[in-house]
Structures are given as C-alpha cells and as structure tokens.
Amino acid sequence: MITFEHVTKRYGDAVAVDDISLVIPSRETVMLVGPSGCGKTTTMKMINRLIEPTSGVIAIDGVDTRGRDVVELRRSIGYVIQQVGLFPHLTVAENVATVMRLEGWERARVRARVGELLELVGMPESEFGDRLPGELSGGQRQRVGVARALGVDPLMLLMDEPFGAIDPVTRERLQDELIALRRVVGKTIVFVTHDIDEAIKLGDRVALYTPDGRIAQYATPAELLGRPASPYVESFLGRGRLVRRLGLIRLGEVDLEPAGGARPEVTVEIGATLRDALDGVLRAAGGRVGVTDGERLAGVLDAEGIRRAASTPARGEGGG
C-alpha cells in the first residue's frame, strides 16, 4: 500500500503537484491520468524518489520513504518508462538481468530468471536474448522493459506512459497482455497515462488530475463514468461516457427483472457486461434478453433496465 499525505511539489513558484492525498491499495492498479504537465509523472517519480516532494509524506506500507536508502528503495520497485529506457548497448538478456546483477545474484539464478521472464512476456530468450534494443520493434522493447522491471520480483511496478509512443494496434495488444500478466504476478501498479480510455481499461482506480496539479477525482472507472465529480471531469471523459460505462458493469452487479413467461429468444451469460446485454436487446425482436447463470435463467433485462443500471452506481460502489 502506498499512501500520499498532503504531498506538494514546487519548482520555485510553479506548483507541479498541489497537496495530494492518495491511498494506493496493495495489488491494485491505479492509473494517474491528466493533461500533460498536470503533475501525474511527478507524482509517480516521488514514489521512488527520483523527485523529492517539497512537503508532505509518502509512505509504503506505513514506512516513510524518506527514511529508506534510496538505491535499495528503487531496487524494490519495478520501473518501466517509455521505450527509451532500455540500455541500448546491452542485449535484451543483459537488460533484463540488470537489477538482478546489481543485487548480486548468482549467475545461474540470473540466467534462469531471465529465461523465465522473457518467456512470461512472450519473447523467448532463444530468439530474442542476444538482440540489442535497436533491433526490436517498439512493442517488443516495451515487453523487455516490463520483464526488466519484474526482475527481482518487486511488489510494486511504476509505469510511466509505457505505451505512449506505440501504434494503436500494438498498444491495445500490450494493454491486454498487461491485464493477463497482472493476473499472474499480482503487483501493485502505478501507471501514468494521458489516455483516459487506457486509464478506464486498465485501472482498478483512476486518479484524474486537473491541469494545475490537483486530483479532480479518484474513483473506480465505473464510478468515474457514472458520476463525474465536476464538469471538468465530465469534459475530460469525453463523449459517450455512459455507453463506455456499459462495458465495465457485469450483469451480476445489476438488478434484474424476475424471469416470467416464455424464455426470451436471446440470452446472455451473467458474467457478460451491460454492453453485451444491450447488444442482445437490440437484436431481440421482443426487446428483452434473458440473463443465464449456467442453465438457470436468472432474470431478464430490457432497454429500460439497462438504462437504469447504466445511470446509477453499481452495487458495491458506495452509492448515494
């Protein structure tokens, strides 16, 4: 768990980060999002003390980071930055091995771990281990960057716009890979991006920054889309926020109408989202879909039911 208590960073008269308090729970992915120059990257770099706060306290699991040795602190936190971050003069395998070597791991252990990590990010060592970063595509470099950050199995990952300079198709794939990877490795991830769609797709929580270094709203993606805290947040989210929200809400979280009468011709699984249900409603002649839980018909939904579910906070989102 990472906590920010009234953290401010000033450069002379300019305020980069303005009195931020934030709790980043363990094993969650928190997205810091906002326009450029809003302080999101500064916030992240204060966690591994690449930047020191002007005032306030940043603590990891209750321990003030200022009390820790800065090199030891950084080695305990994986760090992924835009593709420039790989060492251009070291091979893929050497890049991934960097932190392990700094920590003085034995050769055999390093080799085994490097192979394991490159396998994990889909870049088998036999094929890519000896290549230089300059010989890789942007997406491949990013995968190597993630493997390097996971090197000594840190509990936390900081990711600074890792997919920023990558074409949209590859970016989408890397995002999906990150979601899959997260299930395997279970890290606390702080992820900086300027792309609100990326934030909504990847985040368990999203901290949306104002241009002057404050947090406008800190909430789950569904809550952010459902109940933006201010007109600024709403405008930052862009058009169609409720439509986008449909894809975030599982039917299991929605109040269904009791099933009665004939079984609807179109059915969706209870694990699907409101978006899938809406698709079914548009296809069904009767304008209703059945929601199935295995073989059992759990309930039905029509357009009005979807509308209600989409515009009110989902269960467990702390309504009111």
- Residues forming the site for another protein (CB under 8 A): 45, 48, 50, 71-75, 78-79, 81-82, 84-90, 98-99, 102, 132, 134, 148-149, 158
Please state, as a whole number, how many other Cβ atoms lie within 10 Å of the Cβ of residue 280. 22
Provide, rounded to whole angstroms, the least separation between the CB of residue 52 and another protein: 13
Q: Which two tokens stand for residue 103?
A: 């920590």
Q: 68 or 182: whose CB is closer to another protein?
A: 68
String of b and e for 170-184 (b: at least 16 CB within 10 Å)?
ebeebbebbeebbee
| DSSP three-state, residue 169 | helix
Q: 90 or 242: whose CB is closer to another protein?
A: 90
- Rounded distance, CA 11 to CA 17, Å? 10
Q: 128 or 236: whose CB is closer to another protein?
A: 128
- Rounded distance, CA 158 to CA 58, Å? 15
Provide, rounded to whole angstroms, the least separation between the CB of residue 71 and another protein: 5
Q: 121 or 206: whose CB is closer to another protein?
A: 121
Q: Which two tokens stand for residue 197?
A: 């769609």
Q: 164 or 287: whose CB is closer to another protein?
A: 164
Provide, rounded to whole angstroms, the least separation between the CB of residue 177 and another protein: 21
- Rounded distance, CA 68 to CA 295, Å? 56
Provide, rounded to whole angstroms, the least separation between the CB of residue 150 and another protein: 11
Provide, rounded to whole angstroms, the least separation between the CB of residue 299 and another protein: 50
